[in-house]
Amino acid sequence: MNVTLSVQISQRLFARLRRRWADYGFMAAFVILILIAASFSDVFFTQRNISNLFRQIVTNGLISLGMLTVILTGGIDLSVGSIVALSAILSSGLQQQVPLPLAILAALMAGGLVGIVNGVLVARFRLAPFIVTLATLGAVRGVVYVYSETPQTPTDPAFRAILGGFIGPVPVAAAIMLICFPLVWVFLNRMAAGRAIVAIGGNQEAVRLAGIDVSRHIILAYVISGFFSATAGILLAARLGIAQPSVGAGYELDAIAACVIGGAVLGGGGGGAIGTFGGVFTLGLIDNLLNMFNVQTYYQQILKGLIILFAVLARRKEQ
Amino acid sequence: MSKCEYLLMQGISKSYDGTQALRGVTFSADLGEVHALVGENGAGKSTLIKILSGAVRHDTGQILLEGKPVSLDSPLHAHRAGIRAVYQEFSLVPHLSVTENILLGQMPRRRFHWWVDWAAAHRQAQAILDELGFTGIDVRTPVSQLSVSYQQMVEIAKAVAGRPRILILDEPSAVLSQEELKRLFALMKQLKAASTLILYISHRLNEVFEVADRITVLKDGEIVGTVRPQDTDEGQLIRMMVGRTLGEFYPKREAKIGGEVLAVRGLSREGAFTDITFSLAHGEILGLFGLVGSGRTQVARSIFGAEPPDAGEIRLEGKLVRLRSPREALQAGIALLTEDRKRDGLVLSCSIRDNISLATLPQVTRWGFLDIGRMDARVQRQVQDLAIRPPQINRLVRQLSGGNQQKVALAKWLLTQAKVLILDEPTRGVDVATKVDIYRIMSDLADQGMGILLISSELPEILGMSDRVLVMREGRLVGEFSRAQASEERLLACAAGLLQ
Ligand SMILES: Nc1ncnc2c1ncn2[C@@H]1O[C@H](COP(=O)(O)OP(=O)(O)OP(=O)(O)O)[C@@H](O)[C@H]1O
Ligand SMILES: [Mg+2]
C-alpha cells in the first residue's frame, strides 16, 4: 500500500509540475514580453496604448469565454466569427428602424438562436460539433449577406458614445469584458449547471448515468457561446462605428488559441476562465507589440500558429 | 409468494441491433436480500440490470415496484425510484475530484438550487467514505490519480450516496483486493439489515456462495432458474450456467520445463518496485501474486518496455536485451495482456477483427498489402478457440459483453507467438467456462515451450495453474514457493508481510 501511495503522490506531483511548467512558461513569456515592450518602446506604457490594448482584446476575450464553455463539454464552436458579423450588422442596421435597446436585444437573441441550433444539432441529433458549427459558420455568414451586402453604419449616437466610449480612462467595452470573466468563473465553479458542463467533457456517459440531462447542458453551452459572440459583435460595431458583413472571419482561431494557451483541453477534460484570460491577454499583448514594431501581419500569423502548437504540445494529455 | 416481492421485472426482452440480449425474462427479488445474478459472458446479466437502472430501455415487458408498474426510462427516473448501480464499466469523470464524482447529479445546493455548496459537498463526500470505511482517500483528489481499486470504491460510494432501496453491483469485486472485498461484504451486510435489495453480479462463485441469499442463473438471455445457496453446490450451478459439466477446473499438465527463456536481474524503477530478480523457463507457468498495489503490474509493464526500468537487466534466452518500447519487446518475443482492457487493451470503436490482428499485422502483410483472407482465417480461429460470442468478426468490440472483450484482448496476444507471455489478470470478468478454456490454452502454450508469467489476485487461479509462485509486497519480491509448497494461507500471509 505504501508503494501505491508513494507512486500516486509522485504521479500527482509530476502532473502538477508538468502543468506548472507550461503555466510558468507562459507567465515568463508574458513578463518578458512586457519587459521588451517597456524597454524598447516608450509608447507601450502610455495610458493610451494600455487602454487600446484592452479595447483590442474585448472581442477575443468575450468569444473565448463562450468557446471555453463549449470546449469544456468536449465540443468546439467554429461559428463564432459569423455570429459576430450577424450581431454587429443587426445591431447597427436595426437601430435605424427600432429603438437602440431593442436592436441590441435582437442582436443578442440572434446569437443565442444560432447557439440553440448548434446545440440541438450536436446534442439531440448527435452530430459532430466540428461539422455542425462549420455548417452554421457558412450559413450564418450567408444570412449576414442576405440582410445587407453593404456595411451598416449605426445611426443612434448613444450607441457609439456609450458602448464605444470610456468611463474615465477605462473603455466601457473592456469593463464589460472584465466583468464577464469572473461571472463565467463563478458559473463554471460554483453553479450546478456549470459543473455539469465541466463533467460532460470528462465522461458524458457517467454524467448521463448520474441522472443529469446531458443534452440540455450541451445546448446551454452553445447558447452561451452564441450569446458572448453576439455581445462581442455589438461592442465591435460600437467601437468601429461601422459593421462590415465580412467582419469576424477567422476569429474562431484566436479564441481556440486563447483557450488552449490557458489550459483548456480540446475534447474536454480541463480548462478554466482564469487560464483563458491569461491566454487572451497574452495573444493581445503579442498583437499589440508586433503592431508597435510594425511587423507584418503575415509574420504575426506565423507566430500565433507556433504559439498554439507550443501550447498544445505543452499540455498534451499524458500517455 | 412472488406476488408480494418488492421488485418484479416481467417479460423483459431486449435486442441490440440484431443480438437478442434478453428473451422475455421474468425476475423478482425482495428487499433485505442479496440476490446474485450469474451466467456466462453475454448471458444478459448487465443488460438486465441496466434496464432496471434506466441506462438502457427494454423493448417489451414491464417493471413493477411494490406491485405498481413504474417506467424507468432514464437514469434519473431510476434514481427517483431509489435504484442505484455500480456498472461493470467505470462511469467516473476522470479530471473531477472524488467529491464531485461521488455526488455527481446530487451536489448540495444553495439558493434557488443553482449554486453548489462546496464546503458541504466535501463534508458529505468525506462522511460517506468514512461511513463505508473507505479510508485513505482525499476527497479533493481527481479520480484519475487514484488506483483502479480506489476508483471502484469511489464508484460504490457514489451509488450508496443516493441511499438506494435497490443497489446494483455489476462485478464490483473484479478490481478489489481481499481487504477491500471484505469491507464491501461488510457494507452489503449492513445495507441488507437496513432492508435494501442488493443485486450482485459476479463470476466468482465462491463469493456468490458467501454473500447471496438467492442466486438466479441466466443463460442466453433467459432465466434458467433461481436457487438458494444452501440447496445447491458449485457443480450444479455451473451446470445450470453452461448447460454441461465442466471437466477438470484447472487443466494443468505436468510441465516440461526447459531452458531459461527470461531472466530478470536487479530490476528497479523509482517509486514502483525495487531489485526484482527472477527467471522463467521454457514451458513454465510462473505465478506472480501480491495484493493490489504491490507493484506486479508495474514490473510487467517494465519488462514489456512500456515504462523502461531505471536499473537492472533483462535477458532473453541468455541474450541481454534493452527494451525501450513495447514494439521492441514484441520484436524480441515478449507479449503482455494488460490488466485494464478498456484503457490500454482494446480499441473499443474497432471490430473484433481489427483488434485481434492489431499486434500482428506485419505477419499477414505481403508487399505492403494486407492479406485479408489469411488475416481473417487467423482471427476466425482465435474466435473459435476462445469461443468469442457473437462469433462475427466484424462486430465492434464496444458491443461485446465484458467477458468477451477480455477474450478479444487475449486473442490478440496469442497470435503474436511470443516466447514469453505475460498475463496480467487474464480472467478478470470472464465466466467459469471460458476461464477453463483460457487455462487450457495456457497449458497448451506452455506445452509448446512458451514461458508464461501469470499475474493474478485470484489465489485459486495462481495455485491451480502455476509451477512456481513469486510473491510481491510493496514493490519487492518477498517470497518464492514451489507448486508443492504453495498454499492459500502461505501466499496470503507472505503478501501481507506476516511471513518471511
Ligand atoms: N451496446 C450493445 N450493442 C450491441 N450488443 C450489445 C450491447 N451490449 C450488449 N450487447 C450484447 O448483448 C448480449 C448480452 O450482454 P451483457 O453485457 O448483458 O452480458 P453479461 O451477462 O453482462 O456478460 P459478462 O459476464 O461478459 O459481463 C451480448 O451478446 C452482447 O454482445
Ligand atoms: Mg456484464
In a domain, A82, yes or no: yes
How does pLDDT run across B250-294, given as a tens digit for each residue? 777 777 788 999 999 999 998 889 999 999 999 999 999 987 778
Q: Report phi then psi at B273, rounded to 5.
A: -160, 160
Nearest ligand, CA of residue B14?
A: 1
**One domain, residues B238 and B264:** no
* Centre of ligand 1 from the C-alpha of residue B110, in Å: 41
* ipTM for the complex shown: 0.73
Kindly state whether residues B315 and B369 are assigned to the same domain: yes
Mean pLDDT lowest among A23-27, B26-30, B116-120, B270-274: A23-27
pLDDT digits (tens, 9 = 90+) for B430-466: 888 888 888 988 998 899 899 999 999 888 899 999 9
Ligand 1 atom closest to residue B218's alpha carbon, by position in its atom list: 21
Average pLDDT, whole number, for chain B?
88
Give helix B432-447 / helix B234-242 axis angle, nearest 10°: 90
CA distances from B472 to A8, B265, B458 (A): 18, 15, 14
Q: What b/e readout covers B227-241, taking b as 16+ CB neighbours within 10 angstroms?
A: bebeebeeeebbebb
- Three-state DSSP state, B39: strand
Q: Is B108 near chain A, with CB under 8 Å?
A: no
**AA identity, residue B289:** F
B202 in contact with ligand 1, CB cutoff 6 A: no
Q: What are the b/e assignments for B415-424, b being 16+ CB within 10 Å?
A: bbebbbbbbb
Backbone angles phi, psi at B490, to 5 degrees: -60, -50
State the Cα–Cα distance between residues B294 and B497, nearest whole angstrom.
Answer: 11
Tell me, yes or no, if B137 comes closer than 8 A to chain A by beta carbon.
no
Gap from CA of B399 to ligand 1 centroid (Å): 7
A190·B146 Cβ contact <8 A: no
Q: Give the contacts of A187 (CB within 8 A, at least 6 positions apart).
A: A193, A194
Count CA atoms within 13 Å of residue A70 on its CB side.
34
Q: Is B112 on the interface with A (CB under 8 A)?
A: no
Domain-terminating residue out of B182, B211, B242: B242
Q: Are B185 and B130 in contact (CB under 8 A)?
A: no
- Pair B342, B89: CB distance under 8 Å: yes
User: B418 in a domain, yes or no?
Assistant: yes
Evaluate whether residue A1 is within a structural domain. no
- Asked if residue A105 is part of any domain, the answer here is yes
For ligand 1, whether the C-beta of B226 sits within 6 Å is no
CATH number at residue A253: 1.10.3470
Tens digits of residue pLDDT in A100-137: 999 999 999 999 999 999 999 999 999 999 999 999 99
Separation in Å, CA A69 to CA A200, A226, B14? 11, 11, 37
Q: Do the Cβ atoms of B295 and A208 come within 8 Å?
A: no
Taking residues B102-122, what's their average pLDDT? 85
Query: Who's near B456: CB < 8 A, 6+ residues apart?
Result: B287, B288, B289, B423, B425, B426, B427, B462
B174 lies in the same domain as B286 = no
**Per-residue pLDDT at A7:** 46
- Residue B183 and residue B64 in one domain: yes
Number of domains in chain A: 1
Last residue of a domain, one of B216, B242, B268: B242
pLDDT score of A5 more than 50: no
In this structure, the answer to whether residues B327 and B407 fall within a common structural domain is yes
User: Domain range holding A213?
Assistant: 16-314
Max distance between CA atoms of chain B, in angstroms, equals 73
HEC per residue, A76-144? CCCCHHHHHHHHHHHHHHHCCCCCHHHHHHHHHHHHHHHHHHHHHHHHCCCCCHHHHHHHHHHHHHHHH
Whole-Å CA distances, A274 to A224, A281, B6, B421: 17, 11, 51, 49
Is residue B13, in this structure, part of any structural domain at all?
A: yes
CA distance B64 to A71: 41
- Give the helix/strand (H/E) hosting B336: strand B334-337
Same domain, B275 and B349: yes
B452 within some domain? yes
Q: Distance (Å, rounded) from C-alpha A187 to C-alpha A65? A: 11
Which cell is B288 given?
Answer: 506472480
User: What's the CA gap between B38 and B28, in Å, rounded?
Assistant: 15
Tell me, yes or no, whether B251 lies in a domain: no
Nearest CA in chain A to B291: A1
Instruction: Indicate whether A5 belongs to any domain.
Output: no
CA distance, residue A26 to nearest chain B CA (Å): 22
Q: Which domain holds residue B39?
A: 7-242
Residue A4: pLDDT band (50, 70, 90) is very low
The grid coordinates listed for B261 are 527463456
Q: How far apart are CA B141 and CA A9, in angstroms?
A: 10
Domain membership of residue A72 (yes or no) is yes
Instruction: Provide the grid cell at A80.
Output: 463564432
Burial of B207 (0-12, 13-18, 19+ CB in 10 A): middle
Determine the 3-state secondary structure of B94 from DSSP. Answer: coil
Residues B323, B286, single domain; the answer is yes
CATH of the domain at B101: 3.40.50.300
Cα(B354) to centroid(ligand 2), Å: 22
pLDDT at B343: 63
Closest C-alpha to A69, from A275, A311, A273 = A273
pLDDT per residue over A246-282, tens digit each? Answer: 999 989 999 999 998 888 888 887 888 999 998 999 8
Quick check: is B250 in a domain?
Answer: no
For residues B472 and B354, state if they share a domain: yes
* Neighbouring-strand partners of residue B69: B64
Same domain, residue pair B447 and B370: yes
- According to DSSP, the β-strands at B365-366 and B369-370 are antiparallel
The pTM score is 0.77
CA of B24 to the centre of ligand 2 (A): 18
The interaxial angle of helices A47-72 and A251-261, nearest 10 deg, is 80
Residues B227 and B274 in one domain: no
Locate the DSSP E strands across chain A: 166-167, 170-171
- Is residue A151 within 8 A of residue A243, CB to CB? The reply is yes
Does residue B123 share a domain with residue B97? Answer: yes
Per the structure, the count of domains in chain B is 2
How far is residue B469's CA from residue B462's CA, in Å, rounded to a whole number?
Answer: 7
Nearest-Cα distance to chain B for A247, in Å, is 37
* C-alpha distance from residue B412 to each of A236, B436, B467 (Å): 58, 19, 25
Residue B389 lies in a domain: yes
Is residue B238 domain-shared with residue B275, that is, in the same domain? no
